[in-house]
Amino acid sequence: MYSETRYLLAGDSGIVVEFADEVSLEVSVRVRSMTLGIERARIPGVVECVPSYRSILVVYDPLTASPESVEESLRLVEAGLAGLDLPPPAVIEIPTAYGGEHGPDLRDVAAHSGLSEEEVIRIHSGVDYLVYMIGFHMGFPYLGGMDERIAMPRLKTPRTLVPAGSIGIAGAQTGIYPVDSPGGWRIIGRTPVRIFDPYAEPPALLKAGDYVRFVPITHEEFALLQARDRKREHPRTYSATDMTALAAPAGARLAAGAGTAVEDVLEVLDPGLFTTVQDWGRPGYLRYGVPPSGAMDRYSLAAANALVGNEPWAPALEMTLTGPVLRCLRPIIVAVAGAGFLPVINGKPVGAWESIQLNEGDVLGFVPPSAGCRAYLAVSSGGIAVPPVMGSSSTYTRGHLGGIEGRRLKVGDRLPVRLTGGRSASNGAAVTRVSGGAGLRLPEGLRRVPGREWRIRAIPGPQDDYFTARGLETFFSEEYSVTQSCDRMGIRLSGAAIEHRGKQEIISDGVPAGAVQVPGEGQPIILLADRQSTGGYPKIATVISADLDLLGQVRPGDIIKFERIGLEQAHRVLREYTTRIQSIPRTLEGGAATPGKGAKARTFVIHVAGRTFTVKVEELP
């Protein structure tokens, strides 16, 4: 334990509170006490905190709180920890079927340990394991206390799929896979208990400070418990209740009115390379191993939504490198903004950054961009109406959350919109008017045109002291090329190696958005919307919030050059950037938008008593 707690900058919206450089019960108690103190203090501006083995990542909103005020409040919490009592730890029993189809590696673990399978089971189930932290993946518990007699290295070749509930061994660690995922741990058993349930509150069964006790059960008992659990599957139907919590910034969540219904408006003929539903994400769940996800380029999402009259955060399609081919099922207004995807309707090119009328039977496709990576297709009537999961409609494919069944689009998918009852017609039928209408084009000055070279601003830390002066100089002076390992989770770069001072790994801790971690080979990796919540590589710098959208447009082969920036300047840039985003709908409402190509009138879609009408309105001189 340090004699004095370290408070480290983690970009322009995070502070790391670090107590030690070791894993121990004493440090774990300190972390849990501080976490509880922060929760009870309700510090203004604090969005969430991510406890780990020896530290806490505190995420705050720099638009509503200053880092000085947040740190001062954190220090006050720390000063009062002596009078705070932690609740007694819970012991969570995990029924476990060992061996056979549920534990295919039990025999190998026994052979490696020189023990019988029964002895491995007795040793593994004979200890209560302390939950140090939740992280890496949704609900994944980092457990301490495994007997080293049954330790065994990971598989040389990881499995492509490990079923949820599988219990494995990796080195001297044991753990539980919370969801179906790839993995290289030695699987010795499986539990029918849900370790992670996105519909529960809290979503993770375990928390730091709990103890896990594995209780052996037969394979027949496993089947009975699993069948009982499946009876409580949550429905994935679209109901009025589902539609009342579409993602929005804190204090501005949408609420659907009475009579909410949904109707399919687009059918997927070709899904494109990687097309998903995204809104502004699900913040607040990093401590459970759930990344925020959401649009990789919020600016472009907000622009597309503004053009069809939606709120900036409304769910839309995020297209990556190549777009989908969609058939229109009923009249709707759409808009595309972002990288240079050129919309094509029935084989005829139309404009991007403008609102477009689609009629029943129209086929919408896209010419892929030569620069930039992502664009957003927004639809009127409030956006794509998929049920929110954990407060957001954003798709997190690794966790199978949100969007269309937690995955990218596929052929045959149908995309619905909400039909929210508005003012009534004389016959009492609900009327929905699509705000905005077709024929709007965003002014050139508000459009962003991506290139192939990027200047990305970053603040050193939180582990910049793990690198030599020459390493820091290399990072901020050299150019790096974007490799093929570039997705929503992160961007792996290639260039001059960054020199570590000594240790090339850290004890796993929280990962802020835009963190640049540097593994032992010295090549930086930028972590983004679908990042893991914790990681064990030192983070040399953190990209500023205002530049995260730029990273959403980076593609393989692009060049990135990092620029050092101070905290005060980063906050000023963020305020200016936020104002720019907020100006988009005001510009359209104020009439500063230019008409689209060939547009002579504004087009609106009206739904009355189940019938759809297209109405064009032209201002008379």
Give the residue ranges of DSSP H helices in 249-374. Answer: 298-307
Q: Which residues of the chain have pLDDT under 70?
A: 231-260, 419-437, 589-621
User: Which domains occur in the chain, in start order?
Assistant: 6-83 (3.30.1360.40), 91-230 (2.40.100.10), 242-442 (no CATH), 453-577 (2.40.100.10)
Its pTM stands at: 0.87
CA distance 512 to 276: 23
298-307 and 567-589 are packed helices; what angle lies between their axes, rounded to 10 degrees?
Answer: 10
Amino acid found at 224: L
| Residue type (1 letter), 229 | D
Q: How do residues 228-275 score in pLDDT, each as one tens digit?
A: 877 665 543 333 233 333 333 333 323 333 345 789 999 999 999 999
What gap in Å lies between CA 210 and CA 41, rounded to an integer? Answer: 23
Position 137 scores a pLDDT of 87
pLDDT of 192: 96
CA angle 577–583–584, rounded 5-degree value: 105
The whole-angstrom separation of Cα 314 and Cα 83 is: 45
Task: Give burial (CB, 10 Å; 0-12/13-18/19+) of 219.
Answer: middle
Token pair 């019988």: residue: 116
Output the CA torsion sign for 514, 519, 522, 523.
negative
Which pLDDT does position 272 carry in this prediction?
A: 98
State how far Cα 82 lies from the chain centre: 36
CA angle 282, 435, 529 (to 5 degrees): 20
Q: How far is CA 48 from CA 98, 201, 333, 338, 402, in A?
A: 37, 16, 37, 30, 21
Which of 437, 589, 466, 591 minimizes the C-alpha distance to 524?
Answer: 466
pLDDT at 427: 35
Residues 71, 73, 78, 79: is their CA dihedral positive or negative?
positive
DSSP-derived secondary structure letter, 380: T
Q: Do residues 534 and 508 lie in contact, with contact meaning Cβ atoms separated by under 8 Å? A: yes
Which pLDDT belongs to residue 409? 98
Asked if 390 and 277 count as a contact pair (C-beta separation under 8 A), the reply is: no
